Amino acid sequence: MSTQPESTPPRSPSVVRLLPFSGPEGKRAHLITDGTPTMLSLLADNIENQQIEAAAVIVSLARPMVEDTASLTTAELRWITRRLIESLTDVLNICESRGQRIPDYVEPERPDAETDGAE
């Protein structure tokens, strides 16, 4: 039996990820991991990619619908507006999630400016 205290392994830093879908009651859902890929994080990556692709398709379909020459009804304009808002909301959520995972930028240290001898 060893008399030395057992040491706990160092803990990996926690990574909090905003997920691209809602949790119970429609609230924002987060995943807390040590940064290694998990089934849930891979699923979230897949859903984010699908949301980005869907947004690109919606934008390409909406462009001709909002041209000056288009003759849409009010209901049709509302429909495309809702689709655009939903897609934009998804993409903004993805941007927020990915932005939270980018490490803070640290300004590199610059050597002191050399004086030119004129004082």
DSSP E strands: which ranges in 1-119? Answer: 15-22, 28-33
C-alpha of 4 from chain center: 46
- Dump pLDDT digits (tens) for 60-111: 999 998 888 989 999 999 999 999 999 999 999 999 998 888 878 888 888 7
Q: What is the pTM of this model?
A: 0.71
User: Reduced to 3 DSSP states, what percent helix, strand and coil does the chain have, rounded to the nearest 5?
Assistant: 50, 10, 40
User: What is residue 2's three-state secondary structure?
Assistant: coil
What percentage of the chain has pLDDT greater than the value 70? 83
| Nearest to 29, CA basis, from 20, 41, 37, 38 | 20
Q: What is the total residue count of the chain?
A: 119
Task: Tokens for 69, please give them.
Answer: 């020459």
